[in-house]
Amino acid sequence: MKQTELNPVLKKYTKMGTIAFAVIVVAVLGIFAISGLNKNVKLETALSDVSSEVKPASELRIAVISMDKIQLESKALKDLHEQRIKYETKLKARLEKEQKAIEKEKADIEKSQDILSQEALQRRIMEYQRRVNKLQHDLSESAQAIETSYQDALNTLQKKHLDPIIEGVIAKKNLSLVLDGRMTRMGKDVAGLDITDEIINALNKKVSSMKMATPKGF
């Protein structure tokens, strides 16, 4: 007997049902996979590879460095700071000069309100505002240029000179740990812990000045 063919509509739903089943299977597998990834591990298991050994405090060789003092007293860093001040002084002088010119322009506009036509007055006001905006933009860029040049010089000084000196002192003294004095509080019996002066002396021998790149706009 010839097998009866499925109704086309039934065929359609049968096919859709197969696809739906496949989607459900994939979704269920995905849930199991995610639950496997999110499986919590006991604290004891997580710490199983951590050693219980620690070096006794009596065996540690610790020193402290005051980075603030290094910046204030080392020759090269003082030189950089002075260069920065000079550029900032020039920028301040430029600002004062431009401000006087703009204030004069503003006074002239106020005096000419009754003389100029509305259209001409509006043009002068717009030009005045354009000058003010340009001055603000130029000064902001110049200030940022000074800061960028200064920070670049600082980074060069640190990587090329200061870091190697600190590493050399650590090796020579066979230190276990060096702390930044800004992050520590020290008591009375700390003689010999602070090695800042030794760092400064070594840095002064290695480099006494550092040139800032000329900031953009100067």
**pLDDT 10s digits, 10-31:** 444 444 444 443 444 444 445 4
The separation between the first and the last C-alpha atoms of the chain, rounded to the nearest angstrom, is 101
Cα–Cα distance between 110 and 103 in angstroms, integer?
Answer: 11
**Counts for the chain of helices (H) and strands (E), in that order:** 7, 2
More confident of the two residues 26 and 127: 127
pLDDT of residue 19: 41
Cα–Cα distance between 47 and 105 in angstroms, integer?
Answer: 73
pLDDT of residue 6: 43
pLDDT at 50 over 70: yes
Of 18-22, 132-136, 153-157, highest mean pLDDT: 153-157
Q: How many CB atoms lie within 10 A of CB 154?
A: 19
Task: Report whether 75 contacts 205 (CB < 8 A).
Answer: no
Place 217 in a pLDDT band, splitting at 50, 70 and 90.
confident
Place 186 in a pLDDT band, splitting at 50, 70 and 90.
low
Taking only the tens place, the pLDDT of each residue in 84-126 is 999 999 999 998 998 888 888 888 888 888 788 888 888 888 8
Cα–Cα distance between 94 and 140 in angstroms, integer?
Answer: 12
Q: Alpha-carbon torsion 137, 143, 146, 149, what sign?
A: negative
pTM of the full structure? 0.66
Instruction: Please report the DSSP string for 117-182 in residue order.
Output: -HHHHHHHHHHHHHHHHHHHHHHHHHHHHHHHHHHHHHHHHIIIIIHHHHHHHHHHHT-SEEEEGG
